Amino acid sequence: MADDAGRSSGAARLLTGLAWAVLLLGLWLWGRGVSDVEHHTAGPVTGDVAGLGRPAEEVRLPAPAEPLSAARPQRIDIPALGVQAPVVNRGLDSRGALDPPPYDQPGVVGWYGSGATPGAPGAALMVGHVDTRTRPAVFYKLSTLKAGATIRVVRADGKVAEFTVDDVRVLLRDHFDARAAYGPRRPGRAELRLLTCGGTFDRTRNTYTANVVVSAYLTGRGL
């Protein structure tokens, strides 16, 4: 009984934290027609410096590639993190938040199936858990990614969409800007957003204090 109670508490912690991370998804959808989001940072910001407010080292980034046609994602690979994870289609729950992968599947990444597909024009949105009650989950090290890192998404059409990270932000809950986090950054580009919980776990509010938002854009393709 005690173990069941602990498991329920752990599940509530994860689901509440991650659900909060995309609770403002409706605002992103409302603003998705705005294709050029104003930036308030001089350059890419990595997860370790975002919270400290120090400027990140400038990184020379490749030119964007022409977008692909729409196709469902099947797997995501992040070599710098050692991540190779299956991707599942997720929708919105009864509260209007993106429904994360099941608690008992911490190695799975959820893709918002009603939005853009990875590689197609627009910003495709993916979410994953940061941890479980007993161990790290798929996006545990997401905040350590740096500008220039590669993300590959294997698609149902057999093509591999290759993205380059251009921005990593740790956004505090009390100052979260969903439109800036999720909205497309450049007109016509194929972009990708990876999202997980960050900061510390606030037991009073039963949620995490921040979100990690990784932004990347299409720079290559493969078969």
Q: Tens-of-pLDDT digits for all 223 residues of the chain?
A: 333 333 334 444 444 444 444 444 543 443 333 333 333 332 333 344 344 333 445 789 999 999 999 999 999 999 999 999 999 999 877 766 667 788 889 999 999 999 999 999 999 999 998 888 788 999 999 999 999 999 999 999 999 999 999 999 988 877 767 776 778 889 899 999 999 888 777 677 667 777 899 999 999 998 7
Rounded CA-CA distance 212/50 in Å is 10
Dihedral sign, Cα of residue 49, residue 83, residue 24, residue 124: positive
> Given 3-state DSSP classes, what are the helix, strand and coil percentages for the chain, each rounded to the nearest 5?
20, 35, 45
pLDDT of 222 reads: 80
CATH of 2-222, one of 2.40.260.10, 1.10.10.60, 3.40.50.1970, 3.30.70.260: 2.40.260.10
Residue type, 215: S
pLDDT of 183 reads: 81
| DSSP code for 184 | -
Cα dist. 219→6, 57, 84, 152, 213 in Å? Answer: 44, 21, 19, 10, 19
pLDDT of 160 reads: 98
Rounded CA-CA distance 33/23 in Å is 19
Q: Quick one: residue 122, left, alpha or beta (phi over 0 = left, psi -120 to 50 = alpha)?
A: left
Nearest to 112 by CA among 20, 27, 192: 192
pLDDT of 134 reads: 82
The structural domains of the chain, with segments of one domain joined by +, span: 2-222
